[in-house]
Amino acid sequence: MSLWGKAVASPQSRNDGLITAIDIGSSKISALIARADEAGELEVLGSGQRESRGVRRGYIADMEATEAAIREAVEQAETIARTNIDHVWVSFSAGGLVSDVAQVEVDLGGVQIEQSDIDELLRQGRRSLNPDGRMVLHAQPTLYTLDGLNGVKNPLGLHADKLGVEIHVIAAEPSPVRNLALCVRSAHLGVRSIVASPIATGVSCLTEEDREMGIALVEMGAGVTNVSLFAGGLLVGLTSLPMGCADITDDIASAFNIRRAQAERLKCVHGSAQNSPRDNHEMLEIGSPEEVADGAEPPRISRAQLIQVIRLRLDHWMDAVAKALTELGYVGPVGRQVVLTGGGAELRGIADYAQGVLGRSVRIGRPRHMRGLPDAHSGPGFATLVGLAQVAATNPADLRPFAAEQTVHRAQANGLMSRLMTALKSGY
């Protein structure tokens, strides 16, 4: 048995060799079917995407519409892959996520550590996840402690009076998670696991060195922005902001009295986070197709006007991100790098703009390459989907209780998270 504990087997599907990931967002629902080869490399067999018609700010607002969009996205992926699937991995991106650490220790009396001692420690770790109003999404053992010595990766065969383990826990408000699972099951799909979006996106966009040295990940979704900190290989802090790139679309539609679809196209095709002198001379038609068909002179705006509306929203959005980073303790020399991902990171010039506002090095996080991944799904807007498949392929050990009612206590402020951030700051 692995030192990390044996992962409990998932329900068997009709095709165990396949991995199916579903990212349920506020603007789109996307599905991906992949298979791992003998070397562990993932190959995409099929993918699908549908407009998200029942999700608001990451929460399920219309179950019937969400269920239909899930079913259509999966059916599209199944058609391309020429297969049928019955179990999926699902991302969760709504607010209310917390990242904690549970610490467990047992007395050994100085004997040599055997595998049975480690197994018993992990069993106690599972039992230590007590009710506190949240649902556990992840509970993964990280590093062991021997008589107070932290950071031991492999305690097997060593002697110790006390053996401990720190369990990285991510929990969420239970109702949104249950609603998400119910939508998927209503689409006649079994849920293998629900994965916190920052975990999946971090796997996809960040290198192992990024996660070890310390980095901030900002997922700029359509309705929710997740700001996450990684250090020591772990997600050590996160917060969710109820804002996203759909707010920019709404602002454009309202400012120029046009439909949302037209506003979205203007944002994607002509929008930018940076302005230039020539923007005043570039005119854009904003009339509806019906107006053009009637032969009427379509209304026009300058690109500068469009960018002004975008920048007003971006200023508010990025100020909120900067405040979140400060509240999470990502300041000073330690807070030097930020990765932007999600659909909002596809806006032209957003990295340079954010770098100027945040005063930090900023780059765009794109999903790591997977064989067979369509070009349309290789941008930052699909980082969570690709990362979800990669998480599924690794099948990480998890001590998470299986009853939906199980929840977890918040960790104390002097736990692993604080020590990691302190170590990072002192290292610079």
pLDDT tens, residue by residue, 196-231: 999 999 999 999 999 988 999 999 999 999 999 998
Q: What is the pLDDT of residue 264?
A: 95
Place of tokens 């720190």: 166
pTM for this model (two decimals): 0.84
Is 102 in a helix, a strand, or coil? strand
Could you tell me what percent of the chain has a pLDDT over 90? 57
Average pLDDT over residues 310-328: 96
Rounded distance between C-alpha atoms, residue 324 and residue 173, angstroms: 20
Closest CA to 223 of 24, 48, 67: 24
Confidence at 234, pLDDT banded by 50, 70, 90: confident
More confident residue, 72 or 120: 72
- Whether 169 and 129 have beta carbons less than 8 Å apart is answered as yes
Q: What is the number of other CB atoms lying within 10 angstroms of the CB of residue 26?
A: 23
Q: What is the pLDDT of residue 295?
A: 61
Q: What is the pLDDT of residue 2?
A: 32
Q: Is the pLDDT of residue 8 over 60?
A: no
Average pLDDT over residues 381-410: 71
**pLDDT, the chain, mean:** 85
pLDDT tens, residue by residue, 241-292: 999 999 999 999 999 999 999 999 999 999 999 999 999 999 998 876 665 5
Rounded distance between C-alpha atoms, residue 304 and residue 78, angstroms: 44
Q: Where is average pLDDT lowest: 45-59, 249-263, 410-424? A: 410-424
Q: What is the pLDDT of residue 284?
A: 94
Give the best-scoring range by mean pLDDT among 12-21, 306-315, 372-381. 306-315
What's 244-292 look like in SS3? CHHHHHHHHHHHHCCCHHHHHHHHHHHCCCCCCHHHHCCEEECCCHHHH
More confident residue, 15 or 334: 334
Distance of CA 350 to the CA centre of its chain: 19
Q: Is the pLDDT of residue 369 over 60?
A: yes
What residues form DSSP beta bridges with 170?
99, 138
Q: Where is average pLDDT lowest: 139-143, 300-304, 370-374? A: 139-143
Could you tell me what percent of the chain has a pLDDT over 70? 86
Q: What is the pLDDT of residue 177?
A: 93
Confidence at 419, pLDDT banded by 50, 70, 90: low
